[in-house]
Amino acid sequence: MVRHILSPIFTLLLLTGCQAQTSPLPKSQKLSPNKVAEINATIEHKYPKLSRELRGKLLDTVVQSLDNMVFIEGGEFQMGDFGWPYDDDPANLCDWPCGVEPDRMGRISMHGDDDFVHPVKLSSYSLSKFQTTLEDFDLFFIAHGKPLFDAEDRKREELHEIFYAPKLPAPTQSWQEAKDYCGWLGKLSGLPVDLPTEAQWEYAARNRGQYVMFSTDNGNLNYGRNFPESGKGKRLTFAVDSFVPNPLGIYNLSGNATDWVNDWYGKDYYRVSPLINPTGPETGTLRVLRGSGYPEDPLLSSSTVRRWGEKPVRKEHVPGFSFRCAIQSDQPL
């Protein structure tokens, strides 16, 4: 376990006893009791006007978010659309390259000039096994004194399970909301929390860079077991822990909601990308999304498919656009 130095805020509150929480602090699977106490002290100092109950919920959310982080050992892989046999069954794919004739192999991405296969070498990092939930996203708004979005629609019982159940992926209005949420977790925890880079996302989706077509437990789409049955019912997203995770223990990297990542989109970036820890173009107009949404064609959920969205996406929060956070450190918690 990594040693954590106590922050000045934590030390001050220990000495003064000011705003101290009397209820037991939550136990963490990965954090030391001192680190949990430090996070609690930061929350007490930053949000003295919130009720004790809300501050307790904030602490639980931060601790659980960190416990949900999966440490991913870095390595080198060939990033990009490596191709697949056009006539193979997504439910029973052969192991790439399958011994297939080149003329039967083709790209799966929607655009053939932006997904050039290129080498990438990543340092180790941690990635959340779950997308951020609506429940946790709501706390982020409450902590900043902002009203919950769609407040009126949430009163409609028939919409609650479809759009507003607490464990659904957090719907975002823009990339910036996702970026701000991860940064907020970082400030409260004192850890380098941020959105993952596009390369980190694909590396995890491909089980540390293997030639995996779909980011499921077996690389195939077994509808109803490791991937939702497309077009069934009115639902747009599912609870973040639905179905089975990939071999790294990460859930719903496709088929639920797309994930915002940290990078600007650049059509030719893959051709000039640096070998070590690429972070995308320095500037741009579009941000990258990875993964696929439930209503989309399942073939678009390939682990190499790139997408991008304008910022803001729309004026309202969009159920199909979500995110998960990462810890940008090469050391496990």
Average pLDDT over residues 171-198: 96
Which of 204, 197, 196, 62 minimizes the C-alpha distance to 136?
Answer: 62
pLDDT band at 266 (very low <50, low <70, confident <90, very high): very high
**Predicted local distance difference test score (pLDDT) of residue 107:** 73
Which of 42, 24, 35 minimizes the C-alpha distance to 63?
Answer: 35
**Predicted local distance difference test score (pLDDT) of residue 22:** 59
| 204-224 pLDDT tens trace | 999 999 988 889 999 888 888
pLDDT at residue 121 is higher than 50: yes
Sketch the domain layout of the chain as residue ranges.
Answer: 1-67, 70-327
pLDDT at residue 154 is higher than 70: yes
Q: How far is CA 10 from CA 20, 58, 180, 327, in A?
A: 10, 16, 24, 22
Name the amino acid, one letter, at 203.
Y
Give percent of the chain with pLDDT exceeding 90: 60
pLDDT at residue 316 is higher than 80: no
pLDDT band at 239 (very low <50, low <70, confident <90, very high): very high
**Predicted local distance difference test score (pLDDT) of residue 83:** 78
pLDDT at residue 5 is higher than 90: no
Average pLDDT over residues 300-321: 78
pLDDT band at 234 (very low <50, low <70, confident <90, very high): low
Which of 69, 237, 213, 247 minimizes the C-alpha distance to 165?
Answer: 237
Give percent of the chain with pLDDT exceeding 70: 82
CATH of 70-327, one of 3.90.180.10, 1.10.1660.10, 1.10.1200.10, 3.90.1580.10: 3.90.1580.10
Mean pLDDT over all residues of the chain? 86
Which residues, 6+ apart, have CB-to-CB distance to 27 below 8 Å?
Answer: 36
Which of 202, 222, 221 minimizes the C-alpha distance to 211?
Answer: 202
**Predicted local distance difference test score (pLDDT) of residue 7:** 45
Average pLDDT over residues 50-67: 97
pLDDT band at 158 (very low <50, low <70, confident <90, very high): confident
Residues 319 and 303: their CA atoms lie apart, in Å, by 21
Residues 255 and 228: their CA atoms lie apart, in Å, by 7
Lowest mean pLDDT among 136-140, 163-167, 220-224, 251-255: 220-224
- Burial code (b: 16+ CB inside 10 Å, e: under 16) for 27-49 equals ebebbeeebbbbbbbbbbeebee
